[in-house]
């Protein structure tokens, strides 16, 4: 296996909860109103230090999407997914963007998100039905 090169970000950023590898800057957040099977999630324009998995179709609350899981290159944990194709025209803005699950990242203030009553709250945002 080759040498691992990580991109170090400066500013307010999100890290992998497990290994603290830098993942994204606050300024790259598009929306904080997404939900997934593990709770809340954030949509980003850009993330770093991830590898992209196999594309697959997933039926979500906002329709059918072709997505690929994203993995932290530091520890291999799944930290979210990348939207490859949005099959509904109203969802095309998601294409090429990334979801980071709150449960799997550390926040700019150094804290992590823990499952609480928020996890039980339903929303009209994106969520895996599977």
Q: Report the CATH number at residue 60.
A: 2.170.150.20
Averaged pLDDT for residues 21-44: 92
Distance (Å, rounded) from C-alpha 107 to C-alpha 71?
Answer: 18
Which pTM was predicted?
0.82
CB 57 within 8 A of CB 64: yes
124 or 19, greater pLDDT: 19
Question: Residue 43 sits in which domain range?
Answer: 30-106
Q: Name residue, tokens 């969802």.
A: 91
Q: Distance between CA atoms of 82 and 95, rounded to whole angstroms?
A: 8
Average pLDDT over residues 3-14: 89
Domain count for the chain: 1
Which tens digits make up the pLDDT trace of 58-117?
999 899 999 999 999 999 999 999 999 999 999 999 999 999 999 999 988 766 655 443
Domain presence at residue 20: no
Say if 65 falls within a structural domain: yes
In a domain, 83, yes or no: yes
Q: Does a structural domain hold residue 64?
A: yes
Q: What share of the chain has pLDDT > 90, as a percent?
A: 72
């Amino acid at each position: 296996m080759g040498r691992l090169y990580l991109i170090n970000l400066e500013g307010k950023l999100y890290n992998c909860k497990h290994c603290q590898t830098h993942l994204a800057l606050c300024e790259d957040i598009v929306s904080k109103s997404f939900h997934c099977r593990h709770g809340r999630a954030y949509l980003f324009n850009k993330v770093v230090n991830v590898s992209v998995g196999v594309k697959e179709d997933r039926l979500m609350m906002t329709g059918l999407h072709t997505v690929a899981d994203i993995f932290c290159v530091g520890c291999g944990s799944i930290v979210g997914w990348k939207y490859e194709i949005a099959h509904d025209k109203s969802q095309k803005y998601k294409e090429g963007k990334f979801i980071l699950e709150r449960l799997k990242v550390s926040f700019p203030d150094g804290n992590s998100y823990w499952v609480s009553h928020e996890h039980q709250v339903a929303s009209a945002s994106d969520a895996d039905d599977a």
